[in-house]
Structure 1
Amino acid sequence: MAHRSHARRVVVFGATGMTGRRVVDRLVADGVQVRALCRSEPRGFPPEVEIHRGDIRDPTSLVGVGQGMDAAICCVGTRSYFGSNGGAAVDALGTRHLVEALREPAPHFVLLGAFGLDRRSPFLASFSLLLNRYFHWKAEAEAAVRQSGLRYTIVRPVELRERPPRSPPLVNQRAPLSLLRTVSRELVADVLVACAGNPAVHQRTFELCEGGDGPLADQLARLVPDDERPLPEATPLF
């Protein structure tokens, strides 16, 4: 079941990705005014979507990207670890460029983060330097958002899958979730949209999986603000 956005004007970053496109489609279906940041002219977007040509790695291209917007949803990610399209340039520095560009309009910023940032289990520790770099740059992105002064929400889904949801969303801040759990991209898009402009989730970070047994709105309303619980810092690179 799709959830309505509280915001009526939303800019989407990472709009051409697998999750970002679903976010755009849901917002348009909900009658929300949508602006999408794209490096090149996208294909297959609804005609109602306003395109802002730019690149998060180039701060000069982001001028005005958030003007008039109530909320921003960031679905940006990269599969590269190094170079101009690596995690340092995209996740860490790119996110910092975004929050700097949004300081003046100051919309609610919803970040699609990464599951597992605040737990260093033996399972995670056994992985390679590349995985450690991935977590480091994701943690840097979260830190940039928290330090920005913007109203924000950080959503950390478990492993994303291309399939329909098997059960309702489960929002979690407490018991550690299994690293083997997965979640539908469709459900993640629904939750991102439900968070946009929602004051109940301002200054909150939570993990997301499937298996919930209560209304999403009730789960979101029970979330604890970040300043009332411990949060991770960027992990050291070894």
Structure 2
Amino acid sequence: MNDIPPLPPDTLVLLTGGTGLVGSHVAERLRADGVAVRAICRSPQDAGFLTDLGCEVVSGDLSDAESLASAAAGVTHAVHCAAKVGDWGPVEQYRSVNVGGTEALLRALAEQWGENPDPVLRRLVHVSSLGVYEARDHHGTDESEPPNVKGIDGYTLTKAESELLVLDGPNGIPLVPATAVRPGFVYGVRDRTVLPKLLAKLKSGGFAFLGDGEQLLNNVAAANVADAVVAALTAPGAVGKAYNLTDGRLVTRREFIRVICEAADLPVPTRSVPLPVAKAFAATLEASYRLMGKDHAPLLSSARVKFLGLNLDFCIDRAKEELGYTAEALFHEVMPAAVEWAQRNEPNGAPADGA
């Protein structure tokens, strides 16, 4: 394990996406270490959690170059968590945020840090995704496999594009010292997107396993991602590299659903759909939805087949060796707390709005 130097005492970290699941845990982790954090938010009035942590919250948007330049003034490091997420919709809507917004942030940081920024005293950590890999079964895939620039939807495609932009540098901009981390399925308290929708599906009795349910999920606790992000801010030799992130112990889909159901006091579903049938049905639905110009995802899509039906086991040895990554947070301890938080924050039992 490499020794990771601490952040200098005068560190000021610019954080995007701080109201989201990963961003809020990064802020929490940095503030626990006494690190100054400036969070740029579209709606600062909705950033009470960050304010309570002692973060400086400023108004801004990735589409507003002036607000980015102002937010970047004086920062020494940056963590880019903001992204448009989802599994449906026009690619250009995702590209404008995930690629265009990332390029705008790179421009603001390059202007702030100058032509030759010190990679120790100046660094950007870009939160990418294991979704940059091809949508197939994975059994120990490591970072030697390049990102798939085709993607199965707007999100996975533009996450691959934005990661390449960060690590290779956009045309005409001095290269910002940057590291990318690729978390898998992130879970934890303050999840306002995936878990509330999954709980609603389980409560309705509409959930079914795809295949036998014994495939591994690429689960990673938000707290584990935050640990890796903070280490990547100063890790020697991390500039220009990407790191796969999952928990040290992966769970099968059946274990994943069973733990959620037990925490929510719900019956564990038993229905299953053969995986080939699910894949064919998803392809048919996607084709018809695109033909009809539907603006919402079908009941089953390629992204949902991937999430529920493919084996998603990725190698995290590089993160362990170079970031000192330990993945201490454990699924069976974190997920019940996440379920309790989601239930407590669902207005009238409806899924909470995304942030």
Shorter-chain TM-score tier = 0.7 to 0.9
1:50 to 2:65 alignment: no
Q: 1:179 and 1:138, CA in 2 relative to 1: closer, same or farther beyond 3 A?
A: farther
User: Which structure 2 residues correspond to residues 122-133 of structure 1 after superposition, within 5 A?
Assistant: 131-133=152-154
Q: 1:115 and 1:32, CA in 2 relative to 1: closer, same or farther beyond 3 A?
A: same
Deviations 1:144-177 (A, max 9, x none): 21233011100001111227xxxxxxxxxxxxxx
**C-alpha RMSD over aligned residues:** 3.3
Identity %: 29
Q: Report the equivalent of 2:31.
A: 28
Q: Report the equivalent of 2:79.
A: 73
Contact 1:6-1:195 within 8 A present in 2 as well: no
Structure 1 CA distance for aligned equivalents of residues 5 and 185 of structure 2: 24
State the number of aligned residues: 201
* 2:132 pairs with one of 99, 117, 121: 117
Q: Report the equivalent of 1:137.
A: 158
1:61 to 2:67 alignment: yes
The structure richer in strand per residue is 1
Task: Indicate the SS of the match to 2:229.
Answer: helix
Contact 1:5-1:195 within 8 A present in 2 as well: no
Q: Report the equivalent of 1:236.
A: none
Deviations 1:74-109 (A, max 9, x none): 111223454799411211111111111110223311
Tell me the TM-score normalised to structure 2 length.
0.50
* 1:181 pairs with one of 218, 221, 225: 218
The structure richer in helix per residue is 2
1:154 to 2:157 alignment: no
Q: Report the equivalent of 1:170.
A: none
Structure 1 CA distance for aligned equivalents of residues 232 and 159 of structure 2: 20
Contact 1:70-1:197 within 8 A present in 2 as well: no
Q: Report the equivalent of 2:322.
A: 220
Deviations 1:99-124 (A, max 9, x none): 1111022331101101042435379x
Structure 2 CA distance for aligned equivalents of residues 69 and 77 of structure 1: 21
Q: Report the equivalent of 1:18.
A: 21
What are structure 2's unaligned runs of at least 5 residues? 114-121, 139-149, 170-174, 190-214, 250-315, 325-355
Q: What residue identity is the alignment partner of 2:12?
A: R
Q: Report the equivalent of 2:287.
A: none
Q: 1:136 and 1:47, CA in 2 relative to 1: closer, same or farther beyond 3 A?
A: closer
* Higher mean C-alpha displacement, 44-53 vs 98-107: 44-53
Q: Report the equivalent of 2:41.
A: 38
Contact 1:59-1:101 within 8 A present in 2 as well: yes
Task: Indicate the SS of the match to 2:58.
Answer: strand
